[in-house]
Structure formats: C-alpha cells, structure tokens
Amino acid sequence: MGPGLLLLLAGGALAGPAREVAAPDPPYRRVHRAWTRELRLYGELETRMLLRATWVGPTVREAGQRQLAWAAASTPAELEAALARAEQADQGSHPVVFASMRVDPALADFGAGPDSPWRLRLQVEGRDCALIDVAPLDPDQDAALRVLYPQANAWSDLWRARFDAACGQAGTATLTVSGAMGAGTLTWTLSAP
C-alpha cells in the first residue's frame, strides 16, 4: 500500500461523521464574545472581584444550541427539541451566566439579600427586575457548560442568575454586582423580541 493511499484512508478516518446540522453562523465563539462582559474590582492593590458574565438571550441561546448540535452530529429534530427545551427553561426570565474568580471562598456567594456577600441587581431601562434565583453550575458534571461558557476555569466558579423579564425586553440592561468589597456594573443593549 502506497503512502498516498494511507493518507487518503487516514483522512477519511479523521473526517468524522456527516453533520446534518450546520455550525452556527456567525460562529458561537463570536456570538458569546459579543454578549459577554467583564467586571474587575480592586481594593488596596488587590483584586476583589473578577467576573465575566454572558447575557443568555435568544441570540446566544440559539447559537449555543446550534454549536452543541453541530459538535454532537445531532439530527435537525434533536436540534429543534434542544432549542425548545432551552427556550422553555428561560421563558419569562433574563438569564445571565457568569464566572467569578475565587478570591475568598467565604465571600463567594451571590444573591439579592443584604446578607449575601455579593448582591446582584438587574435593571432594564431603569426598571428593577426581580431576582428569581441564582445557582452554582458545575462544568465538571456537564461538558456542555465548558463549551458554552469558556470563561469558566480552574480558578473560578460558574453561576446562573435568572431575573424576571416583566421589567422589560428592550433597551439598556444593567447588572450591578455589589458587596462589602466593592461594586460595579455591566451593561448590554437589548433589542425588542
């Protein structure tokens, strides 16, 4: 067997399965980057907070599901089912997924109450959005989280906060992160659905 035939056979083995679902266009990493913001808080020459947050609106949600479906060589029917599940899970809420650097494990919790080390508040066009819940996510248990939220790493924790979308769907969305160690804001511009 000649070297050309070996290369042809090896190339066929490396090509992978045929994909019925096209990769997202634009690529997911570009969509993710466009909807991800970074907040850095410093105090007394120390980093108090490093947070990278992604607004998980319809654009990010669809691109993410298309990326996962393409990578898994899913069928169009499987993609449609995944899109429907993701939309249902986020219905009526503004989800934000964020990774926060572990500076002090005792001060690593997020919430809305005055006893939370870090409080989260969302406003859309100046109207407060009630915090529905905030929960940690585990990328070690769910490989899709590593694909969808590359801001998660060995030095950070990944969280998902959901806010009531009744406050508004379009305009400037401002997420305020505040606590005894400092405060800062992240903003996104939302389009009407």
10 pLDDT tier (thresholds 50, 70, 90): very low
5 pLDDT tier (thresholds 50, 70, 90): very low
CA-based nearest residue to 132, from 107, 152, 157, 160: 160
Partner residues linked to 176 by β-bridges:
121, 185
How much is the pLDDT for 27?
95
| DSSP structure class, residue 180 | T
How much is the pLDDT for 104?
65
Predicted model pTM = 0.86
CA dist 118 and 34 (Å) reads 25
CA dist 151 and 32 (Å) reads 10
135 pLDDT tier (thresholds 50, 70, 90): very high
How much is the pLDDT for 105?
63
How much is the pLDDT for 18?
81
% of the chain with per-residue pLDDT over 70: 88
Task: Please give the mean pLDDT across all residues of the chain.
Answer: 88
How much is the pLDDT for 83?
94
* Secondary structure tally for the chain: helices H, strands E: 5, 10
How much is the pLDDT for 15?
65
How much is the pLDDT for 101?
86
55 pLDDT tier (thresholds 50, 70, 90): very high
The average pLDDT across 108-113 equals 76
